[in-house]
Amino acid sequence: MQITSFLQDKQLTIALSGEIDHHGAKATLRMVEEKIDQYMPTLCILDFRAVPFMDSSGIAVVIHTLRRMNELGGRLHLTKVPPQPEKVLRAAGIDRIVKLEGRELSHEM
């Protein structure tokens, strides 16, 4: 998993790249949290376009990030979520607590 981020007007976009499973989830969590603590954004956007696969470890990453943003009084959005990760997020009901924006329509894996 690799992450890249950019900040604009207290809006932090973190682009995740690679598959999210238990093997890499802890490191991903830590990297995302470090970015948030460094920039203290009011809105954090996790960009999923380069995440072709995730299992329930990805849910943990989203919930953990949401909790951190709540502590800071900020919001969390997910953007460009491909079909497989979206299905996992919806199965867990995450779409009811976090806004999913900008559908990623490509079904390529």
**Residue ranges that bind other proteins, judged by CB under 8 A:** 19, 21-23, 25-26, 29, 53, 55-57, 59-61, 63-64, 83-84, 87-88, 91-92, 107, 109
Report how far Cα 30 is from the mean position of its chain's Cα atoms. Answer: 12
**Least distance (Å) between residue 60 CB and other proteins:** 4
CA-wise closest residue to 21 among 58, 63, 64: 58
**Least distance (Å) between residue 22 CB and other proteins:** 4
**Least distance (Å) between residue 9 CB and other proteins:** 30
For residue 93, give the 3-state DSSP assignment. coil
Q: Which is nearer to other proteins, 78 or 88 (CB)?
A: 88
Q: Which is nearer to other proteins, 7 or 63 (CB)?
A: 63
Q: Which is nearer to other proteins, 58 or 74 (CB)?
A: 58
- DSSP letter for 80, please: S
**Are 103 and 85 in contact, with CB atoms under 8 Å apart?**
no
β pairing state of 43-50 and 99-101 = unpaired
